[in-house]
Amino acid sequence: MSSKGSGKGRPSSETSSPGGSEKPKRTVLVRSCSPSASGPRGPRVAVIGGDGIGPEVVAEALKVVRAATVELDTADFDLGGARYLRDGTILPDEVLNELRSFDAILLGAVGTPDVAPGVIERGLLLKMRFALDQYVNLRPFTAAAKGIDMVVIRENTEGSYAGEGGVLRRGTRHEVATQGSVNTRMGVERCVRYAFALAQRRRRHLTLVHKTNVLTFAGDLWQRTFDEVATEYPGIDTAYCHVDAACIHLVEDPDRFDVIVTDNLFGDILTDLAGAVTGGIGLAASANLNPERTGPSLFEPVHGSAPDIVGTGRANPLAAIRSAAMMLEFLGEADAATRVTQACTAAVGRAGTTVEIGDAVAERV
């Protein structure tokens, strides 16, 4: 099924909303309160609806932003697996350069079962993360009933995602494949620093998650960097967890976590688990941040394109709407961001189609 053929094409059960079958309509531009044709138009946002349910959930996110009366100047980019199958385009450098001129990117989901694994993931998603230096992948998780209010800071440009390695004698009995993990002092330190600064603004607790007992080279670099930066933050309680133990804690004792900082691959896996224990991946939002703002940051739901439920109205738009709220926050619209996030929380568990849930959130903001 799709989850095998494409990294973002996850099973529908994870993203579907409680019911309904209405086909959602697509919104393209958000110009809710243009003062005049020549007046200021608000932040410029590149919108990549992408594949599968991506365009459906992004349309709801833009509808909610408009309801929050934030004006965005949006431009659609037709990118993803479907585009690739149509004309071979993934992310040409001219398009990447065009994206650089935007204030933010809002993405639905990319990936189709008919494209080999890695083509769109590496060629589009990872290319944007790396080239636009979105080195922090910030994923918040809340579940009031379980006392969970945590944020995972995942390093987003290095580790085993860097693409180090290769293959020799492919397809023969003597095939050799290596896939290394790249960890630089600079890359680890800037991510760890971001996590400390965030913990300082929250409950002042930061946990490093790694596997220092086995990955002794990379783990040592992470641990030393973490310990050194910690000396600059005496007010923050620090902890360390091996990634396997962190999985148990996430399920059995999640309220021990405030902020987690971890490497790229551990963060990928841990955030799917965190999504699953906090109401499902259909609620999980993420921000790929370039904190220095030398390029646009990208906001996207954690879930995939779920091609098996496309057009059924069963896609839950809340993760995409929450991702748009994170974008508003990053763009300086803190008040609107809070209203949208609160309206999403109120809509959790609500039955309805993609459009109905989007409408319900839009009415509350």
User: Is 359 known to be catalytic?
Assistant: no
Q: Which does 125 bind (CB under 5 to 8 A by kind): ligand IPM, Mn ion, none?
A: ligand IPM
| Binding track over 290-309 against ligand IPM, x by CB under 6 A | ------------x-------
Q: Which does 83 bind (CB under 5 to 8 A by kind): ligand IPM, Mn ion, none?
A: none
User: Is 93 known to be catalytic?
Assistant: no
For the bound state, the minimum distance from the C-beta of residue 235 to ligand IPM, rounded and expressed in Å, comes to 31
Q: Which does 275 bind (CB under 5 to 8 A by kind): Mn ion, ligand IPM, none?
A: none
Which is closer to Mn ion, CB of 158 or CB of 268? Answer: 268
Residue of 60, 121, 308, 356 interacting with ligand IPM (CB under 6 A): 121
CA-to-CA distance for 180 and 170, rounded, in angstroms? 18
Say whether residue 281 binds ligand IPM (CB under 6 A).
Answer: no
| Catalytic residue selected from 258, 268, 308, 359 | 268
3-state secondary structure the chain: CHHHHCCCCCCHHHHECCCCCCCCCCCCCCCCCCCCCCCCCCCEEEEEEECCCHHHHHHHHHHHHHHCCCCCEEEECCCCHHHHHHHCCCCCHHHHHHHHCCCEEEEEECCCCCCCCCHHHHHHHHHHHHHCCCCEEEEEEEEHHHCEEEEEEEECCCECCCCCEEEECCCCCCCEEEECCECCHHHHHHHHHHHHHHHHHCCCEEEEEECCCCCHHHHHHHHHHHHHHHCCCCCCEEEEEEHHHHHHHHHHCHHHCCEEEECHHHHHHHHHHHHHHCCCHHHCEEEEECCCCCCCEEEEECCCCCHHHCCCCCECCHHHHHHHHHHHHHCCCHHHHHHHHHHHHHHCCCCCCHHHHHHHHHHHC
| Binding track over 315-354 against ligand IPM, x by CB under 6 A | ----------------------------------------
Which is closer to ligand IPM, CB of 8 or CB of 211? Answer: 8
Are 14 and 277 spatial neighbours (Cβ–Cβ below 8 Å)? Answer: no
| Catalytic residue selected from 51, 84, 103, 161 | 161
User: Is 161 known to be catalytic?
Assistant: yes
User: Is 114 known to be catalytic?
Assistant: no
CA-to-CA distance for 17 and 22, rounded, in angstroms? 12
Which is closer to Mn ion, CB of 107 or CB of 343? Answer: 107
For the bound state, the minimum distance from the C-beta of residue 302 to ligand IPM, rounded and expressed in Å, comes to 6
Say whether residue 125 binds ligand IPM (CB under 6 A).
Answer: yes
User: Is 244 known to be catalytic?
Assistant: yes
Say whether residue 300 binds Mn ion (CB under 5 A).
Answer: no
| Catalytic residue selected from 133, 211, 263, 308 | 211
Say whether residue 333 binds Mn ion (CB under 5 A).
Answer: no
Chain residues 240-299 in contact with Mn ion, contact rule CB under 5 A: 268
Say whether residue 8 binds ligand IPM (CB under 6 A).
Answer: yes
Q: Which does 8 bind (CB under 5 to 8 A by kind): ligand IPM, Mn ion, none?
A: ligand IPM
From residue 272, how far is each of 44, 138, 349 by CA, in Å?
Answer: 30, 13, 19
Residue of 3, 7, 105, 336 interacting with ligand IPM (CB under 6 A): 7
Residue of 133, 258, 268, 333 interacting with ligand IPM (CB under 6 A): 268
- List contacts with ligand IPM (CB under 6 A): 7-8, 121, 125, 268, 302
- List contacts with Mn ion (CB under 5 A): 268
- Catalytic residue set: 161, 211, 244, 268, 272
